Amino acid sequence: MNRAFFLLAVAGSLAGCSSLLPRSKETSGSAAIAWQSYEEAERAFASIVPGKTTAAELAALHVDPRTNPNITLLHNFQVRERFIPNNTVTLDDLDGSVRECIAARSACVGWEINQTAMQKKRNGNAALDMLKMRRETHSSGWRFAGLLLIKDGVVLYKLAGGQPLIHEIAQTEDMLGPLQALGTRLNAINGIDVTDVRNGIKALAGGNSGHVEAATAIKIR
């Protein structure tokens, strides 16, 4: 009994302590060379001038597939697939610089840049979160995507896009979660096998045709 009162007291004290809930941060690529914000990525890309910026100058901006894991090297046939995904698109529909790159074959390659930065934080009632009864996760961050076509060591074409702001909320509720934990505990300590506590309790709400006492979901080994 004292233990039950202790657990209730702890749960009550945690009710408003959302600051105690876990949080995480994820950034694709190396933190040392990755852009720290969407605006920084935009500024770096804005400094790239087609027909002028060289591969060596890109390396100084940490835009180099040999050192930046956020960059994928595309061969010429892959560049063609990016711009001509089906028969409805022809070479005549493309920008002149893209046509020049495709015509150059092995002399022109693509660098595809994808960087994502996300932060996840659980909000809400810490006690319900701890008991796995109700959890709310907020995810926020940004995603940058860019493409460079490079011919003979010089940028021929560039294209940029992405999501400057990402905000997602995921909510889960499992009001019977503590019962499952209790069943596992009973199974480990007292030799009671809780085979399906959830279904046993849910059946009570199904009327006489599906009436099952909660105790029938518990089997003594």
pLDDT, tens digit (0-9, with 9 covering 90-100), for 51-60? 999 999 999 8
The 10 Å CB-count burial string (b at 16+, else e) for 72-111 is eebebeebbeebbeeeeeeeeebeebbeebbebeeebbbb
Residues shown for the chain:
221
Q: How far is C-alpha 140 from the chain's CA centre?
A: 10
Overall pTM surpassing 0.75 (yes/no)? no
Q: Which residue has the higher pLDDT, 207 or 113?
A: 113
Q: How far apart are CA 116 and CA 37, in angstroms?
A: 10
For the chain, the first-to-last Cα distance in angstroms comes to 26
Average pLDDT over residues 1-24: 51
pLDDT on residue 6: 46
pLDDT on residue 65: 92
**Is the CB of residue 25 less than 8 Å from the CB of residue 32?**
no
Question: How do beta strands 23-27 and 108-123 pair?
Answer: antiparallel
